């Protein structure tokens, strides 16, 4: 099912409305003079790119990678380190950052995809922790405190210091990522990945080299994750090991499951829900009693438990059963 066709259903309508609102968000925030909202919006869009890339392997492929935030770090540090040494042009920084993320993903994938289940979860986490500690040990780049960087330069093309332009660039890249993911999910390649999730043995018996397919998907997903890291570093003009802490990897898994695994727009819904909860739960709790807002995670934590226990399809399943799945089922 193509992207355009999937937009003609009721769920499609909601998605289109959402995309339209996101597309004009800078105009809205300017009209209502809410600049803070634009910065949240930018982070939502960047995190959504990362979540879509995780969904490719987690949602479609069933590979529970617990270290996806490492690509925030690799993309971000590649940009930050180059900018620190005077390489300001984004035309040079960005491709290098993507190549770095791709190579790392290929290496980690080649080693960790040999394992299954909990071993896979833990080895992806371990590789992410490895990079996290390397980042914290880089004295020249601020160690644990991180490093302020200047944003990538694209002379005569776009000025990333302009908040609205930067937002639109991120949004365009999100649309590109979603388009890519929809092509992926419905391609022969994507179907092998999805097939291997439901029955690896059968896919192997059919003659598909499942390991190689998974490795390719893992590497692609890492490259897109690296892209989100580049954007995240440019958003805050700052890099630090904290951007790839294991809690961020957990947040990404939460987002993908919350939004709906293996649904094209699930990660986008999940990211919006996650950030909206993060911004609205504290003031809501403060309404109940002043001071409670600070402890919003005491409500958020059990909400995750409930989502895990009772809401398997995530937000996406609220919009009706996903026909996309059946067609290939």
Task: Return the range that interacts with another protein (CB under 8 A); candidates 172-180, 229-237, 246-254, 263-271.
Answer: 246-254
Rounded CA separation 1/6 (Å): 6
Contact between residue 111 and residue 172 where contact means Cβ atoms under 8 Å apart: no
Integer Cα distance of 288 and 56 in angstroms = 40
**Residue 22: partners with Cβ closer than 8 Å, 6 or more residues away:** 41, 45, 171
For residue 222, the minimal CB distance to another protein (Å) is 16
Please say which residue, 144 or 159, places its beta carbon nearer to another protein: 144
257 binding another protein? (CB under 8 A): yes
Residues 51, 203: Cα–Cα separation, whole Å: 26
Contact positions with another protein (CB under 8 A) in 56-85: 58, 64, 66
Q: Is 303 in the site for another protein (CB under 8 A)?
A: yes
| In the complex, minimum distance from the CB of residue 122 to another protein, in angstroms, rounded to a whole number | 5
Cross-strand partners of 238: 148
By CB under 8 A, the residues from 90 to 129 that bind another protein are: 111-112, 114-119, 121-123, 125-127, 129
Query: From the list 301, 326, 327, 329, which residue makes contact with another protein (rule: CB under 8 A)?
Result: 301
Quick check: 226 and 95 in contact, CB under 8 A?
A: no
- Does residue 307 bind another protein (CB under 8 A)? yes
Tokens at 312, concatenated: 């398997």
- Kindly tell me which of 40 and 64 has the beta carbon lying closer to another protein: 64
Of 152, 170, 169, 145, the residue nearest 239 (C-alpha): 145
Give the residue with the Cβ less far from another protein, 143 or 175.
Answer: 143
Which residues, in sequence order, are CB contacts of 311 under 8 Å at separation 6+?
Answer: 317
**Burial class of residue 103 in the structure, from the number of CB atoms within 10 Å of its CB (0-12 exposed, 13-18 middle, 19+ buried):** middle
Q: Quick one: 116 or 323, whose CB is closer to another protein?
A: 116
Residue placing its CB nearer to another protein in the complex, 12 or 293: 293
Summarize as ranges the residues that interact with another protein (CB under 8 A).
58, 64, 66, 111-112, 114-119, 121-123, 125-127, 129-130, 133-134, 136-137, 139-140, 143-144, 246-247, 250, 253-254, 257, 261, 294-298, 300-305, 307-309, 312
């Amino acid at each position: 099912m193509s992207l355009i066709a999937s937009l003609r259903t009721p769920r499609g309508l909601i998605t289109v409305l959402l995309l339209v609102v996101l597309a004009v968000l800078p105009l809205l925030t300017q009209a209502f003079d809410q600049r803070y909202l634009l910065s949240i919006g930018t982070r939502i869009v960047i995190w959504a790119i990362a979540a879509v890339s995780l969904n490719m392997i987690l949602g479609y492929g069933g590979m529970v990678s617990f270290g996806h935030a490492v690509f925030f770090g690799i993309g971000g540090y590649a940009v930050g380190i180059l900018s620190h040494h005077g390489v300001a042009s984004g035309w040079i920084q960005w491709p290098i950052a993507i190549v770095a993320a791709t190579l790392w993903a290929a290496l980690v994938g080649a080693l960790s995809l040999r394992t299954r289940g909990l071993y896979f979860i833990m080895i992806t986490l371990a590789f992410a922790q490895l990079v996290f500690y390397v980042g914290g040990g880089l004295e020249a780049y601020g160690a644990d405190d991180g490093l302020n960087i200047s944003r990538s330069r694209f002379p005569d093309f776009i000025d990333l210091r302009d908040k609205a332009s930067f937002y639109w660039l991120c949004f365009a890249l999100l649309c590109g990522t979603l388009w890519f993911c929809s092509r992926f999910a419905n391609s022969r390649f994507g179907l092998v990945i999805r097939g291997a999730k439901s029955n690896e043995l059968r896919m192997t018996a059919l003659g598909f080299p499942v390991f190689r397919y998974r490795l390719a998907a893992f590497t692609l997903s890492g490259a897109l994750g690296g892209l989100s890291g580049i954007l995240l570093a440019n958003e805050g003009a700052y890099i630090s090991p904290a951007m790839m802490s294991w809690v961020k990897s957990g947040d990404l898994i939460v987002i993908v499951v919350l939004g709906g695994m293996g649904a094209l727009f699930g990660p986008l819904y999940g990211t919006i829900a996650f950030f909206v909860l993060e911004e609205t739960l504290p003031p809501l709790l403060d309404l109940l009693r002043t001071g409670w807002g600070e402890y919003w995670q005491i409500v958020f934590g059990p909400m995750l438990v409930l989502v895990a226990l009772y809401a398997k399809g995530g937000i996406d399943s609220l919009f009706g059963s996903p026909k996309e799945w059946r067609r290939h089922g």
